[in-house]
Structure 1
Amino acid sequence: MKVTHDQVLAWRLRQQSLTPRTASTVEQLVGRLAGVQAQVASAAELALATRRRKPGAGAVEKALAARTVVRTWAMRGTLHLLVPEQMAAFQSLLAAARTWEKPAWQRAFGVTPRQMTALGDAVEDILGDRALNRQELTDAVIARPGFGELRQQLTSGWGTVLKPLAWTGRLCHGPGQGGRVTFVSPRSYVPGWRGIPGPEEAARTAIPAYLRAHGPATAETFDAWLTRGLSGKAAVRAFFASLGDLVTSVDVDGRPAWVLTENAGALARTKPSEEVRLLSGFDQYVLGPGTGDTRVVPADRRKAVSRTAGWISPVVVHRGRVAGVWEFTDDTVDVQLFAESDPVPTTALEAETAHLALCTGRSRTLSVRII
């Protein structure tokens, strides 16, 4: 089967509830998007709100409180919102990469694989059915014999040593505690938790979830999204091969990629999109294929989208491609369109500005300039 990339982009917009917008709940959207990056909480809230016809204030916090959505370290080592039924599968494939056993990781963070195993056992025992903030958890860990030297690693702002514990099912984020993060055991906190499955079983949940939102894609693109390419090519290709008839190979403008077999017909019938959307920073539409995909983000404009310290700008999407960036000021939605992109209709930008007002509860005027 052959399709064009214009069809692919239009199909992704629909799959991700961008065209048209949806009445779906936060948890339905998080599942549909295969997770939502939540390193910046306000960006996650806006990424979901922009997909809803009638966004409501505090929707993410309500979903977290109801435990229909869980916040934890996941793809690429960043915080994500995940639905319980997908969470264990993603964590399994992240754990399968065993990044904490690599010599470079050990040199950088000073924790051996044996220490990580012992730390995971200790944290799981300490948490039980309690929620502890980082200081409380750290104090409890280092009070145990043999863990005193890990205080610095445990209190690191990036939480690097705690991430493998999330991937192996020992902890996730729990309810807020006066603005402070707490940690809980998924075993006692996540509805329906059955532990971390084996990688091949996990692949049958995780890869379809990704392809349903971000396909067609290659095994390498999936792994770049999941682990930044640290899983190993042979392992990821084996995961895809294990899916059998669940996936179908397609030709996208001369490039082979995988799509879910159940989605192939709809993709083939999709017409290119003319829609315009203003998307949040760190939006899954951009993160799914990655900012290095020049068919989504123009190569010469990547630095405008993927900025220093891992910051992903809010973007203007026109015809499925990034045509500019934007930001809030006190009084305006400041849109900066790329000079080389196709002209973006002002009326569409005005409509998007109005929808952002619904999302944020604050009206701003539209400001447009070419860069």
Structure 2
Amino acid sequence: MTGCKKVTYEQVLAWRLRQQGLAPRTDASAAEIVGRLAGVQAQVASSAELAVATRQRKPAAGGRTAAGSAQMTAGSAQGASASGVREGLAARSLVKTWAMRGTLHLLRAEEAGAYLSLLGAARTWEKPAWQKAFGVSPRQVAAMGEAVEEILDGRVLTRQELTDAVLARDGLDGLGEQLASGWSTVLKPLAWTGRLCQGPAQGQKVTFAAPRSWVPGWGGIPDPQEAARVVIPAYLRAHGPATPAAFDAWLLRGATRKPVLRGWFEELGDQLTEVEVDGERGAYVLAEDADALAATDPSREVRLLAGFDQYVLGPGTADTRLIAPSRRKAVSRAAGWISPVVVHGGRVVGVWEFTDEEVVVTLFEEAGDVPADALEAEAAHLARCTGRDRTVAVRKD
């Protein structure tokens, strides 16, 4: 690892906005944006579509995101999408599967195996606490993985069809309750070991497919050391500078063994440069990006970002320089819900939501003035993304 650049946090935020296609926006495809962001959380499909569309300078003509509804509910509307996400999934340039932190993500197809490799490296399902909580042994997980790989070979099955086929296998007939769980916890190790991913929805029903027969050019799950050389640079390119601990929190809530994590970063050697941010050391950026970061001017841009946006999830809601501690609950809400946020100068200064007729913006009192014309411009961009015009209503909290 080379050198040590000194930068301000304002520079870091402005650089991230640029790296993530937020300021300026981009003409990139959905798959390119997903790769640029190191994945896009897709637990709520409409939020994932909007997260991609808000980064596009000209969302696809005639398309619209599922977030055109007031509630931005889960599940995508049929037909063309403004973001291109649905088209990317149909073309299989994008894969939807359980990934970072055990949540559903969109991943660019050619890199999906690397992300899954690092998640699987933690072997969380082999820990006694996991076995006690979910009632499945490592031996059963391994047997289930082998069964699922055979069952899904060349096939796409609904959740119920897959469950029925697994329970028909010898030794797995007692896992009905675990497989029926809405949290899908026992299926996540199968995703991380490359046994299954999501296929095309059948109405409201989720389907599953085997990556080796579903993803064009599927190269399997690489060795974690090899995968780290793909995933860590992708993360730092979008969300750096960052410490190894911040990377691990984003990856799997700190579950990676510390010697393993340290080894991944050390293996990158001179590809990384240490950065001192406002006097604090220990964060890294790609060496090739260090000069551009140091030359970045602070931003005064205003952006309205979707719920579960990677700009927030990359560093995490515990980053007090991004989100004031007193406002974390407004952003990170009950049941893991991450609010749509208002960003000004790179920092989170409020939250927002759709109603039938309005974009309701709630600005934090301590955030200072946010230009009204910038909020109007952002609402106009949301209209291009969703195919629905709304007026802006601003209030203070």
SS at match of 1:20: coil
Query: Which of 109, 126, 129 matches 2:134?
Result: 109
**2:170 is the alignment partner of 1:170:** no
SS at match of 2:220: coil
> 2-side partners of 1:314 and 1:60: how far apart?
19
Summarize the alignment of residues 16-165 of structure 1 with structure 2, pairs less than 5 Å apart.
16-56=20-60, 57=63, 58=81, 59-165=84-190
**2:324 is the alignment partner of 1:298:** yes
> 2-side partners of 1:236 and 1:314: how far apart?
31
Kindly state the Cα deviation for residue 250 of structure 1 after the two structures are TM-superposed. Answer: 1.0
> 1-side partners of 2:209 and 2:310: how far apart?
26
> 1-side partners of 2:280 and 2:139: how far apart?
43
TM-score w.r.t. the length of structure 1 is: 0.99
> 1-side partners of 2:110 and 2:236: how far apart?
16
Query: Which of 218, 237, 247 matches 1:193?
Result: 218
> 1-side partners of 2:16 and 2:229: how far apart?
20
**Who is 1:366 aligned against?**
392
- For structure 2, the 5+ residue unaligned runs are 64-80
> 1-side partners of 2:373 and 2:258: how far apart?
45
1:214 counterpart letter in structure 2:
H
> 2-side partners of 1:90 and 1:166: how far apart?
11
Kindly state the Cα deviation for residue 27 of structure 1 after the two structures are TM-superposed. Answer: 0.4
> 2-side partners of 1:246 and 1:176: how far apart?
41
> 2-side partners of 1:252 and 1:178: how far apart?
48
Q: Which moved more, 1:54-63 or 1:302-311?
A: 54-63
CA offset digits 1:71-107 (Å, max 9, x no partner): 0000000000000122111100100111111111111
**2:382 is the alignment partner of 1:356:** yes
2:31 counterpart letter in structure 1:
E
Query: Which of 315, 321, 329 matches 2:341?
Result: 315
2:323 counterpart letter in structure 1:
V
TM-score w.r.t. the length of structure 2 is: 0.93
> 2-side partners of 1:54 and 1:363: how far apart?
16
Kindly state the Cα deviation for residue 238 of structure 1 after the two structures are TM-superposed. Answer: 1.1
Q: Which moved more, 1:251-260 or 1:274-283?
A: 251-260
Kindly state the Cα deviation for residue 70 of structure 1 after the two structures are TM-superposed. Answer: 0.6
Kindly state the Cα deviation for residue 111 of structure 1 after the two structures are TM-superposed. Answer: 0.1
Query: Which of 226, 234, 239 matches 1:209?
Result: 234
Summarize the alignment of residues 218-233 of structure 1 with structure 2, pairs less than 5 Å apart.
218-233=243-258
> 2-side partners of 1:357 and 1:88: how far apart?
35
2:97 counterpart letter in structure 1:
T
**Who is 1:335 aligned against?**
361
Q: CA RMSD in A?
A: 0.7
1:10 counterpart letter in structure 2:
A
> 2-side partners of 1:110 and 1:96: how far apart?
21
> 2-side partners of 1:90 and 1:226: how far apart?
9
Q: Which moved more, 1:219-228 or 1:189-198?
A: 189-198
1:205 counterpart letter in structure 2:
V
CA offset digits 1:31-53 (Å, max 9, x no partner): 00000000000000100010011
CA offset digits 1:306-334 (Å, max 9, x no partner): 00000000000000000000000111100
Among all aligned residue pairs of Structure 1 and Structure 2, give the percentage whose two residues are the same amino acid: 68
**2:36 is the alignment partner of 1:10:** no
SS at match of 1:330: coil
CA offset digits 1:325-364 (Å, max 9, x no partner): 0000111100000001131111100100111111110011
SS at match of 1:179: coil
**2:302 is the alignment partner of 1:276:** yes
> 1-side partners of 2:99 and 2:265: how far apart?
20
> 2-side partners of 1:191 and 1:341: how far apart?
47
1:267 counterpart letter in structure 2:
L
SS at match of 1:367: strand
Kindly state the Cα deviation for residue 178 of structure 1 after the two structures are TM-superposed. Answer: 2.4
**Who is 2:68 aligned against?**
none
> 2-side partners of 1:33 and 1:100: how far apart?
27
Number of matched pairs: 371
> 2-side partners of 1:218 and 1:198: how far apart?
23
**Who is 2:67 aligned against?**
none
